[in-house]
Amino acid sequence: MVHQQMASQEITVAYLGPAGSYTHQAALGKFGNSVTYHPQATIDDVFKFVEEKHTTYGVVPFENSTFGSVVTTLDRLVSSKTQIIGEAYLEVNHNLLAKSNIKSVKRIYSHPQAFGQCRKWINTHLKGAQCIDASSTSRAAELAASESASAAISSIVCAELYGLNVLEKDIQDLRGNKTRFFILGNSPSGSTGDDRTLLLFTVDHRKPGALCDCLKTFKDHNINLTKIDSRPSLQRQWNYVFFVEFEGHKDDSNVRMSLNDIGEYCLGLTVLGSYSNKRTED
Amino acid sequence: MVHQQMASQEITVAYLGPAGSYTHQAALGKFGNSVTYHPQATIDDVFKFVEEKHTTYGVVPFENSTFGSVVTTLDRLVSSKTQIIGEAYLEVNHNLLAKSNIKSVKRIYSHPQAFGQCRKWINTHLKGAQCIDASSTSRAAELAASESASAAISSIVCAELYGLNVLEKDIQDLRGNKTRFFILGNSPSGSTGDDRTLLLFTVDHRKPGALCDCLKTFKDHNINLTKIDSRPSLQRQWNYVFFVEFEGHKDDSNVRMSLNDIGEYCLGLTVLGSYSNKRTED
């Protein structure tokens, strides 16, 4: 675990809160109970806390196996001054929590990602209800606890924490629904022999095949890509920034050769971090 | 315009409604006033209406220049039985509309995409307000019109349509904010000499370089890629479907060669449609 490297210092961890969020649970799984936690209201605040060195580490959601990438995290990575130094996976089982019963539910609070992971269930069982965005699923539970006709889509942990009844368990559309989190820090992680790296770059849109040329540098050095995302560049309309994740550490010799080659074809290349691969195939 | 090809028949168009939505405005720009419109409550309903041949065409939002792809449309394209037969662009200027004044606004209704396009403005001017998802920005205006402490982020057209005051104009984070729409139909469009094509495919994740091999087939035939998206495949965890858009029509000879080549490297290749390129560079 990351914190074993720093056992002699006080370790502090910012996460997307409040207490009981899935990000909190992922953080607890990674760092345990012997560190000090600082819940934050937004993903942006977690990045800022680490960038301004208020905490040693930060934990943010990155990707869900059903509903895909967390765009707030992708967009914030573009201006990030931190490094991604680790990842964590959590099996996510959503529940409908409320003070009252399902018949009186007029409003549902949750994070947009959780709504996306329970789309079919909501459309079948609570089609008329208002879906109200909360900054996290635990914040949703906190809000639902203060209103009689409201429910939250949230974790089972939050039922006890915020004094809510579990009206329905496991309402996510797919079984084995998992979320992947990034651990942010200020010092890069060393190579472990089984790592992944996330890159950010853009390409000259006037050059046909530019993205292909970029990706080919990985193939040339026998590096397997694991994920590609694109987001609007915001510099030029209908141009994109690309997030490419691959197997290997930025200090591995084949990765270094590939990063050297890719510089010829892309613009604004940034290594967002290398981290030990924690994915386990089911 | 598309409907000129079918002037002698009655043309019907389903769109993401209710009346006054940006999709409605895009549809009016494309088809004018001489066709019959059928507003739908959801993007899924627009696809269904066209698939079941209740209407000749359908119009759905696809991508915004600030906040990126509309994931509901991407996810629905995977099971689509329609063809993309056209595209339309609309400059999108969001406004804060309400019955009352800005000080009494406790809740804001809008579409998640519009919230994403006004993130900075909301965080600066209405940080404490609840953001409540609506199925479209015009539905948001309809909801705000029935509640005193609520506002909508919506188009100026909806202010008059739903009897709301314009509390603040042009609240989108970037000027020149544009949304791109797809026209759905049941018969493919012919080649115009300046077209684009959208493909859907997945790759064998165990083959290193498989995505690169796919993209290289376009480069080999001198075809320029204009966009790439990935979404969870939902067939296997942490596997993705890819949406690749490129310049050219599926019947062009170089595109046909490329589609023939790509079949060697990808799985589940589907041509979602070819359509006349309506993008104008600013």
Q: B79 and B19: one domain?
A: yes
- Regarding whether B73 and B34 lie in a shared domain, the answer is yes
Q: Provide the token pair at A18.
A: 């409040």
Whole-number pLDDT of residue A214: 94
- A136 domain residue, yes or no: yes
Do residues B14 and B133 both lie within one domain? no
Based on the domain organization, do A151 and A214 belong to the same domain? no
What is the CATH number for B105?
Answer: 3.40.190.10
Q: What one-character-per-residue DSSP string does chain A give?
A: -GGGGGTTSPPEEEEESSTT-HHHHHHHHHHTTSSEEEEESSHHHHHHHHHTTSSSEEEEEEEETTTEE-HHHHHHHTT--SEEEEEEEEE---EEEESS-GGG--EEEE-HHHHHHTHHHHHHH-TTSEEEE-SSHHHHHHHHTT-TTEEEEE-HHHHHHTT-EEEES---SSTT-EEEEEEEESSPPPP-SSEEEEEEEEE-TTSTTHHHHHHHHHHHTT--EEEEEEEE-SSSTT-EEEEEEEES-TTSHHHHHHHHHHTTTEEEEEEEEEEE------
Mean residue pLDDT of chain B comes to 93
Here the CATH number for the domain that contains residue B270 is 3.30.70.260
Residue of chain A whose alpha carbon sits nearest to that of B242:
A228
Q: Is B256 an 8 Å CB contact of chain A?
A: no
Q: How far is A268 from chain B (nearest CA, A)?
A: 18
Digit-coded pLDDT (tens) for A146-192: 999 999 999 999 999 999 999 999 999 998 999 999 999 999 999 99
> What local confidence, expressed as pLDDT, does residue A27 receive?
98
B253 and B218: one domain?
yes
List, in order, residues 6 or more apart from A77 with CB less than 8 Å away: A198, A200, A243, A272
Q: Is the peptide bond before B18 cis (omega within 30 degrees of 0)?
A: yes
Residue B66 has pLDDT above 50, yes or no: yes
Give the pLDDT of residue A209.
Answer: 86
The boundaries of the domain holding residue B134 are: 95-167
Is A190 part of any domain? no
Residue A230 C-alpha, separation from nearest chain B C-alpha, in angstroms: 6
Query: Quick one: B49 and B181 in the same domain?
Result: yes
Alpha helices in chain B (DSSP H): 22-31, 43-51, 71-77, 112-117, 119-125, 137-144, 156-162, 210-220, 253-262
Whether residue A282 is contained in a domain is answered as no
A84-123 burial by CB neighbour count: b if 16+ within 10 A, else e?
bbbbbbbebebbbbbbbeeeebebbbbbbbbbbbbbebbe
If one counts the domains in chain A, the total is: 3
Q: Do B204 and B267 share a domain, yes or no?
A: yes
Q: What local confidence, expressed as pLDDT, does residue B204 receive?
A: 86
Q: Which amino acid is at B205?
A: H
Residue B281 inside a domain? The answer is no
Residue B281: predicted pLDDT: 63
Average pLDDT over residues A132-145: 92
Would you state the pLDDT for residue A6? Answer: 52
Same domain, A130 and A240: no
* Per-residue pLDDT reduced to its tens digit, A71-112: 999 999 999 999 999 999 999 999 999 999 999 999 999 998
Among partner residues B226, B228, B238, which is closest to A65 by beta-carbon distance? B238
Residues in chain B with CB shorter than 8 Å from the CB of A146 are: none
- Which residues of chain A from 108 to 137 reach within 8 Å of chain B, CB to CB? 112, 115-116, 130-133
A231 reaches B (C-beta below 8 A):
yes
In the stretch 28-47 of chain A, residues with CB closer than 8 A to chain B read none
For the cut 70, the answer to whether the pLDDT of residue B6 exceeds it is no
Question: Both B181 and B203 in a single domain?
Answer: no
Shared domain check, A48 and A181: yes
